Amino acid sequence: MNTAELKHKIIQSIDHLNEKDFEKVYPLLVEALQSTTSYQLSEEENKAIDSALEASEKGETYSHNEVVSEAKKKYPNLKFK
């Protein structure tokens, strides 16, 4: 779908909302449309990334299979490819 088709589809979806549902969605739409700033990482997120990069540089890494195996144990209801 091109941009014009996507816009049309969104407008149609909004047009078909009843008043109650529209009032629920309206603040979310306004917020999304006004959101022009990019996401800023928190100090905690920056520290976690720096820590992960340091561990990687030291060779402290895990294989894909190890990560999937641990994730399956922790989240048995999820399906992994």
> Model confidence at 80, in pLDDT bands (50, 70, 90)?
confident
pLDDT band at 10 (very low <50, low <70, confident <90, very high): very high
DSSP labels, 10-73: HHHHHHT--HHHHHHHHHHHHHHHH--SPP---HHHHHHHHHHHHHHHTT----HHHHHHHHHH
| Dihedral class, residue 54 (left if φ above 0, else alpha if ψ from -120 to 50, else beta) | alpha
Q: At what angle do helices 19-34 and 3-15 cross, to 10 degrees?
A: 140
Identify the pLDDT of residue 57.
94
Please count the other Cβ atoms lying within 10 Å of the Cβ belonging to residue 60.
9
Q: pLDDT per residue over 61-77, tens digit each?
A: 999 999 999 999 999 99
